[in-house]
Amino acid sequence: MSVYEVKRRDGLARISVYEDGERSISLPAALDTDDLFPALGRRALSNVPLSAGEALVKDYFSPGEGEQPITVHPLAPPAPESGDCALVANWHTTLKDPRSYATRLAVLKGSTPPDTAWYAPASALPSTACLLIYSGFDIFDYRAVDLASAQKVFCLAEGEFPASLMEMGICGCEGCRTGDLLRHNRLALDREIGLVRHYIEAGRLRELMESRCRADAAQVSILRFLDRDYGFMERALPVARAVPMLAATAESQNRAEIRRFADRVIERFIPTRTDIAVLLPCSARKPYSLSRSHRLFMSTVNRRAHELIVTSPLGLVPRELERVYPAGHYDVPVTGYWDREECAFIADILARYFAAHPYRRVIAHLEGGALTVAEMAAEACGIDLEVTCQGHPTAPESLRMLNAALEGERRMQTDMVRGTVSWQFATDIETKGLSLRGRSMQMAVLRGRQQLFSVDEGTGLFRPTFEGWKMIPEGYRVKIDAFVPQGDILAPGVLDCDPRIREGDEVLVEGALAYATGRAVMGADEMLRSKRGVAVRVRKTKKVGV
């Protein structure tokens, strides 16, 4: 009997352990799969092309007779169970067919239990390993690199080259030092898998993927097609990371995290009560309010308008959310130039926001591309935009114009608590009588002396106490059986959960005998379909009636 357990996730990619008999294998890895899966050498009817028609698959395809791995096909009924290894025969043929790659991956992943190892035979080269692992594959063999060696091809993460390149000192591995091409190619694959593993541990695999795909047009297309399937990709992504998000390529703005942030700003976020908005430029320093420019802006606005920061690639960041991932955790190359696609993307976010949250006045304290975006959104919404910039936004004359535009307007207090809770939990709460104590990211929300929420320093998200959860009437609940948790909640103990839960979300665990507060380690889909692994990291437990 085989067992598979995920130890760390980064989207579809996993660091995991696969156990088969007495062997325990850390994944992702390239292995001698003939030794690991001896049944493959005598199996028939599993190697059906992915492009085969439904009739052919129905008549001839066989997933295997109960021996590992279990072969899967997009047109065949799902056969793997939790703990199995799922083999996708001929997956290498999709690497040059981007649309099919994304479509078939979504179908196969959706019909197979999340706690299964994934094997892509004869597919892994140093140049494809990152994409394959990013797509959720765990096990690889050396067939592709061995074939390349037989064809006198020198393999690197950047692509495949003539073997003569080996003599130019590009690589100093043991194989290159001894002139052993086969050895070099195998080591290059192992090295790339090791590097990808590091990026998974760091929570930054997307950045590596955007870098690696640049050398191959088909891989860029695959990444774009995967991003288009927002529902499929978003389910696997954490709600927040504690590391910076580098948005350095055109593909960065298509990341599901960015769309999720924007959609929540438009659909969930409840802004501070005011009918005046002022659009401000972003800053290199995060959170914005720690920067010199934003200290000037905040002093000039002086709580007389709702502050909205226009930025690429997030689009729009309300002041209330400036500490929440990814608003407080992103970095972009600053050139002052926004291309047409970038402008159209951000203008659409602004237009949707203004349609959902109309203001009596909208002041644009912007220049350059940000001002262009605001003007595009204003035209789309029929808004009269008031521009207060005379040169640079922090120039004395610009700040005087902004101050004059707000002369006589009523002051209000920015409601960070209501804004963050609405964005995070999709609910509105009454914040009268609540106070926010602390400095920077070390803050807590109190009612008198009673703590309701603390702020996660790494992500900017709120962590409710049991009293805080009473203010959130529904949603983000995990139902468990009648037991008192003695530690973390494992997936088999979960009976039901809110389908909106993503990895990293704060959740309330509810059972017949106890309640618990904690952080989800799995998304809702994985939590419900897995039979192994930690579902919720419990912070505090409370018995019913106590």
The CATH class of 263-405 is: alpha beta
C-beta of residue 329 within 8 angstroms of C-beta of residue 289 = no
Q: Which long-range contacts (CB under 8 A, 24 or more apart) does 425-429 make?
A: 425/472, 425/475, 425/476, 426/264, 426/268, 426/475, 426/500, 427/472, 427/473, 427/474, 427/475, 428/270, 429/471, 429/472
Output DSSP code: residue 226: H
DSSP 453-492: EEE-TTT--EEE-HHHHTTS-SSSEEEE-S---SSSEEGG
* CATH number listed for the domain at residues 429-543: 2.30.130.10
Instruction: Give pTM, 2 decimals.
Output: 0.94
> Of 278, 255, 267, 312, which Cα lies nearest the Cα of 409?
278
**CB contact at 8 A, 518 and 493:** no
Tokens 């603390």 label which residue? 454
Q: Which helix (H) or strand (E) holds 350?
A: helix 340-356
Domain(s) labelled CATH 3.20.20.105 in the chain stretch across 2-230
Q: State the Cα–Cα distance between residues 187 and 178, nearest whole angstrom.
A: 13
**Could you report the per-residue pLDDT of 32-48, keeping only the tens digit for each?**
999 999 988 888 899 99
Domain with CATH 3.40.50.10630 in the chain: 263-405
Predicted confidence band of residue 546 (pLDDT cuts 50, 70, 90): low
Residue 359 to residue 362: CA distance in whole angstroms: 7
Domain with CATH 2.30.130.10 in the chain: 429-543
Output the average pLDDT for the chain.
Answer: 95
- Calculate what percentage of the chain has a pLDDT beyond 90: 90
Residue 334 has pLDDT above 90, yes or no: no
**Structure tokens given for 330:** 């992103």
The answer to whether residue 18 scores a pLDDT higher than 90 is yes
Sheet containing 489-490: order of strands: 489-490, 534-543, 514-520, 506-510, 477-480, 494-497
DSSP string, 107-163: HHHHHS-SS-EEE-TT---TTTHHHHHHTT--EE-SHHHHHHHHTTEEEETTEEEEG
Query: Domain 2-230 has what CATH class?
Result: alpha beta
Calpha distance 275→26 (Å, rounded) = 56
Residue 306 has pLDDT above 80, yes or no: yes
